[in-house]
């Protein structure tokens, strides 16, 4: 398994409201698999990827039952080790509007 996501929830806390941008998402991607995620604007695609890469704003709340990439438990991995071992080495993000 390359990526295992179970019950991912990402909540943006704004001054006016809580925005439940991702609410209970499961995702399993195998090592030999190409995966495309399609959905209408605002459905949470970018939020999913930003949450995995820890690029959501600090006011956002990221919760999951399982968040695993290869042998790494992303729920317990420190930010320092995440930056050293994973960010841009194992997982990279190419934004649409760079």
Ligand X SMILES: Nc1ncnc2c1ncn2[C@@H]1O[C@H](COP(=O)(O)OP(=O)(O)O)[C@@H](O)[C@H]1O
Number of residue whose CB is nearest Mg ion: 46
Instruction: State the binding partner of 21 from Mg ion, ligand X, none, CB within 5 to 8 A by kind.
Output: ligand X
Choose which of 28, 46, 72, 82 interacts with Mg ion (CB under 5 A): 46
> Least distance to Mg ion from the beta carbon of 53, Å?
13
In whole angstroms, give the CA distance from residue 72 to residue 44.
Answer: 24
> Least distance to ligand X from the beta carbon of 45, Å?
3
Query: What are residue 32's phi and psi, to 5 degrees?
Result: -100, 25
CA triplet 40, 11, 70: central angle to 5 degrees? Answer: 80
């Amino acid at each position: 398994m390359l990526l295992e996501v179970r019950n991912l929830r990402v909540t943006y806390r704004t001054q006016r409201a809580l925005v439940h941008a991702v609410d209970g998402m499961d995702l399993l991607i195998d090592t030999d698999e190409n995966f495309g995620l399609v959905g209408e604007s605002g459905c949470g695609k970018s939020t999913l990827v930003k949450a995995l890469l820890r690029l959501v704003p600090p006011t956002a709340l990221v919760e999951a039952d399982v968040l695993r990439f290869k042998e790494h438990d992303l729920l317990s991995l420190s930010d320092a080790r995440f930056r050293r071992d994973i960010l841009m080495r194992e997982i990279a993000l190419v934004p649409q509007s760079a």
